[in-house]
Chains A and B, each alone.
Chain A
Amino acid sequence: MTNHKNNIHQASFRDPSGYMFHDGKTLRRCINPIYFPQYKKLTESGFFKTLIDNGLLIPHVETSASEEKIVITPEEIPFITNPYEWSFEQFKHAALHTLKIQKYALSKGFILKDASAYNVTFHKGKPIFIDTLSFDFYEEGTPWRAYKQFITHFFGPLVLAKYHGTEVFKMLQTHIDGIPVKLIASMLPGKSKLSSTLFTNIHLLAKMESKHSEDYKAETKVAKLSKKAQNNILESLFDYIKKLEIKEASEWGDYYNKTNYETAAFQAKKELIKAWVAPLQPQKLIDVGGNDGTFARTVLDKVPHIIVTDIDSNAVDYNYKQIQQNKETNMLPFVCDVLQPAPGIGFNNTERSSLIERLQEYAPDVTMALALIHHITLSGNVPFEKSAEFFAKFSENLIIEFPTREDSWVVSLLVRKREFINHFDFYNEANFEAGYKKFFHLEKKEAVSGTKRVLYLFKKMK
């Protein structure tokens, strides 16, 4: 721990209260003396304990304490997802989670001093608050200082998603501190002004923000706000968000009802996957393009941690709902477009790491890519060698399904190329194998019975 100053976590520099650092493989949190009074009160009053017992805050243990610093070690989270990778339901729950914590904090004489969406992530099937140092003392009569952040990080994006779909969450990639209130207001339809919640929390807020943006000397007096009034804000936002819904037609949501193969073939594919995954004894597995997690679920009882990504927010939503209903704790779904994975963003481009960096750190033992390669190759025009390079960056064992040219999906993708169809003559098993053999050894190959598809197992070259 001697040279930990050099290992400070790249996302942890904004808050003077402390910082995260890597101590070998363990991530720990250092607390600076400026935050000692808060930390002590939060610990001694049992505030932390209640939040932790209720599964709201990431558990931590105190590792060391001196006059210069206190070091705590939070429970390890295998993989961090960012707000622009969440489905609607996940985003919604993260917002509700934040309000719930603020309301409780307020009742105990504390506040959340920030309401950044990055303070919440998903762990063991549920949202969890991960910034232990986000709490401060409540000062009687003061408005919630993180209110605006809550609007720009949570409320605004959710309301925009209602009108424009979950694509708007990707705007958070270019706005790390939330979507500006003025922009949110401008993107909402005029009728949104008729809702008292939207009018006050967004349109009026936008107006007030521009009106008071030139108060350089902080001269204007901040109005008082009673605790009861603040509770009303929190509760009405909670109610509103809880009722929010989106109407989005799914790209794949209904995929399994309109697949091109029979129930028997479906079952055959499941059996094959089970049989191939078991001997690899993976601790961590990722299913890229895994839809609602149907195939990942066949091995859920054998793998301690599973990630399922899909391009379709609705499929991820459906997966997330199943996780809640079945109370699954080892599955983590999130939205990912393989052709455009989340980049590294923020200060230095390192504040939030790119998807590839996070996957490399996660280092899954098994990567599954079922019914995906034809989309990457034919819809995305990515040559086999390039997609092999992508998978080789983070995969040890790769189980990949190759739909042949006779597969009805492939036929459909090819005819849509129209006069360019001849440009895609390279799409066949031989070229696929050749491309992947540049990065992997071919271990197994088997046709999925009842389909025009072939399942491959590749092992990465050392």
Chain B
Amino acid sequence: MNYFLYFDPGLGAMIVQAVVAVAAGVLLFSKNVMYKVKAFFGLLKKDDDTYDSIDIEEQDTDTHDQPQK
């Protein structure tokens, strides 16, 4: 690491992420497949959590040089 250690990230936690990512990848892949299958049969349920998705709707990051709204 060439930047200072602000806090100890935990070595095990840094290493384990490689495995976590693989498991996550498999899960996300199967989720996408299931999503497509469900969508095909019209079985998608509406989400009742009020928190929206992980993605940010961008107007975008480079707006600072565009005219203000």
Contacts and interface: CB of A to CB of B under 8 A. Distances in A.
B13 A96 contact: no
Nearest to B56: A104
A358 interface: no
A212 B12 contact: yes
A15 B6 contact: yes
Given A49-B63, A208-B15, 20 more contacts: A46-B60, A46-B62, A49-B64, A50-B61, A53-B63, A137-B3, A147-B13, A148-B10, A149-B9, A196-B23, A204-B16, A208-B12, A212-B11, A218-B11, A223-B17, A224-B18, A229-B24, A235-B28, A236-B24, A239-B28
Interface in B26-62: 26-28, 31, 47, 49-51, 54-62
Nearest to B64: A46
A239 B47 CA distance: 12
B54 A50 contact: no
B16 A53 contact: no
21 contacts: A15-B6, A17-B6, A44-B64, A50-B58, A100-B55, A104-B55, A114-B7, A143-B18, A149-B7, A196-B23, A196-B26, A201-B20, A208-B15, A212-B15, A218-B11, A222-B1, A225-B21, A233-B17, A236-B23, A242-B51, A325-B50
A50 B64 CA distance: 9
Interface string A97-118: 1011001100010000110000
B64 to A, nearest CB: 4
B61 A47 contact: yes
Contacts of A53: 59, 63
A15 B5 CA distance: 10
Interface residues of A, number: 74
Contacts of B49: 92, 242
A209 B9 CA distance: 11
A61 to B, nearest CB: 15
B61 A147 contact: no
Given A148-B10, A208-B15, A96 B51 contact: yes
A234 interface: yes
A132 to B, nearest CB: 15
Interface in A192-232: 196-197, 199-201, 204-205, 207-213, 215, 218, 220, 222-225, 229-230, 232
